[in-house]
Amino acid sequence: MAFKYETLAYQIASDIRQHKLLAGSLLLSLRKFAHHHNISLSTATKTYNLLEQQGLIGVKPKSGYFVRDFLCVDETSNTNKKITDKPTAELVTHDTSDVMFEVLKNAMRPNMINLGAGFLPGSLLPIKELQRSLHRANRRLPAAAYSYGNEQGFLSLRQAISERLLQRNCHIKAEQLLITNGCLEAVNLAILELTKPGDVVAILTPCYSGLLMAIQHSGRQILEIPCTSQGPDLKYLEQLMQQNCFQAFIFSSVGYNPLGFNLSVKVKQKLADLIQHYQIPSIEDDAFGELGFIGEQTSPVYSYVSSSPNYIVYTGSFSKPLASGYRVGWLSSELKFDAMIKRKLNQNLTVSLPPQVGLADYLFSEGYQAHIKRLKVAIEQRLNHLAQLIRRYFDPSIQFTLPKGGLFLWLEGPEHFNAITFYHSALAQGISVAPGDIFSMNGTYKNCVRLTIAETDLGKTEQAILVLAKTYADCLKNTKNRTDKG
């Protein structure tokens, strides 16, 4: 249950994001706000403090609290106008995995200002608390370090995940969970069991490059379905389902990587109904499910299915909200679950047991819930700061929308902007970014770039944005010069 001040903050945050409260609008004074909602002055103060921590509101001496102006980004703008006007799904016909591998490798290089990788900065991780949990677990269960453990994973961890998922309206018992090496292995297991070589697997794009490579390397065909910052066009998606254009479907509904959308309750319900009606084996990648911002509804599509069997294989991970190095994920499925367990055993037996035991200890403490609350505020604050820097320093031709979850900002330049050229120029100056080319295998997003909050030092982040702004301007200028000469 959320505290009263959190509930009020959720409501105000939602009004701000939906532009019901416009940038620059003055809010009620603390005393008037307290009187209006019949709450104490202390609760009113906590409400405004939480919104201020998120970067949604500010305070002016002698004027009071107001909606911050840099949040007023046009959320109706689309990531790609041509696709939005007439969405077209395309089968992938060529292999761009070499570019993807190169970008992923360079994102891990030392001494880089990291605005490209998809993980949390160390300053936002509960490292000491996790270490204490690991030590406690090792003292209680010293044999864990020398055992493979249960084929489905450590029981206490599965019980902890089950309890956590219940808070997001997912009724999944511990015996219905399989612990995996991260979310990507969970998705891989589902792909291999639900489809056969040559089958078509549909996926929303732009999307995480690891998913594209996983589908391709499994011998399946990829059908890319473009979507916007608001999510997929469900009418178009239903047409594809009616025409049997694909045999399986992969999607995310919260903190979508890289666009940052959270599907609305109405859209989630409709998507669940479509999947069940057309009996499309589907995989919900919920790696960012814990990172929907305050005021957002974060129950996955899986939770909206009421009929049986549930055609959605539900997958998740602790890599994004906690520690990517632990490589602990999970899946739950009513389709071929035993076969997925057997395939997991054949591939690599089980997941390393010590991280599972340590995570179970941490999840059963009060620390995890408190960490997630702090983390959502900190991530949104950092993304708002990043957005403010981009608006301040970049040429106005760059477009973006504020995300509603996740770790990313998705930038779109003019059609003639070359993101790969921009990427190489940034890399030469010690800055890592993710060019749009790696989020599709059809070359759809060559004028887009994904930025993240992975850099711990905010001062370095601002320095990097200054450099990137100049690099972007140079790229536009060079492209214009070549066009003029042509």
Strand partners, 330: 179, 316
Residue 36 in tokens: 């209006």
One domain, residues 30 and 65 = yes
Check residue 142 and give its pLDDT.
Answer: 74
135 within domain boundaries:
no
One domain, residues 204 and 332 = yes
Q: What is the distance between the alpha carbons of residues 201 and 242, in angstroms, rounded to a whole number?
A: 15
Count Cβ neighbours within 10 Å for each residue of 287-316 and write b for 16 or more, e otherwise: bbbbbbbbbbbbbbbbbbbeeeebbbbbbb
Number of domains in the chain: 3
Q: Which domain holds residue 299?
A: 145-365
304 within domain boundaries:
yes
Q: Is the dihedral of CA 167, 168, 170, 176 positive or negative?
A: negative
Check residue 187 and give its pLDDT.
Answer: 97
One domain, residues 327 and 401 = no
| Residue with the two structure tokens 């991780």 | 125
Q: What are phi and psi of 392, to 5 degrees?
A: -75, -40
pTM of the model: 0.88
Q: What is the distance between the alpha carbons of residues 159 and 431, in angstroms, rounded to a whole number?
A: 41
CATH of the domain at 381: 3.90.1150.10
180 within domain boundaries:
yes
395 within domain boundaries:
yes
Q: Of the candidates 365, 380, 410, which is a domain's last residue?
A: 365
350 within domain boundaries:
yes
Check residue 75 and give its pLDDT.
Answer: 43
Q: What is the distance between the alpha carbons of residues 473 and 467, in angstroms, rounded to a whole number?
A: 10
335 within domain boundaries:
yes
| Residue with the two structure tokens 């794009």 | 205
One domain, residues 314 and 189 = yes
Q: What is the distance between the alpha carbons of residues 49 and 12, in angstroms, rounded to a whole number?
A: 12
What does the pLDDT profile of the chain (486 residues) look like in tens digits?
A: 568 888 888 888 878 877 788 888 999 999 999 999 999 999 999 999 888 877 788 888 878 999 986 444 444 343 444 433 446 888 887 777 888 888 888 877 888 999 998 889 989 999 999 999 988 888 877 776 678 889 999 999 999 999 999 999 999 999 999 999 999 999 999 999 999 999 999 999 999 999 999 999 999 999 999 999 889 999 999 999 999 999 999 999 999 999 999 999 999 999 999 999 999 999 999 999 999 987 778 999 999 999 999 999 999 999 999 988 889 999 999 999 999 999 999 999 999 998 999 999 999 988 999 999 899 989 998 998 999 999 999 999 999 988 999 999 999 999 999 999 999 999 999 999 999 999 999 989 999 999 999 998 999 999 999 999 999 999 999 876 665 555
One domain, residues 293 and 356 = yes
Q: Is the CB of residue 445 less than 8 Å from the CB of residue 80?
A: yes
Q: Of the candidates 350, 365, 380, which is a domain's last residue?
A: 365
Q: Of the candidates 324, 348, 365, which is a domain's last residue?
A: 365
One domain, residues 194 and 310 = yes
Check residue 73 and give its pLDDT.
Answer: 42
One domain, residues 351 and 283 = yes
CATH of the domain at 348: 3.40.640.10
| Residue with the two structure tokens 């001496």 | 61
One domain, residues 380 and 320 = no
CA distances (Å), origin 341, targets 64, 173, 210, 337: 58, 16, 22, 6
Q: Is the CB of residue 177 less than 8 Å from the CB of residue 162?
A: yes
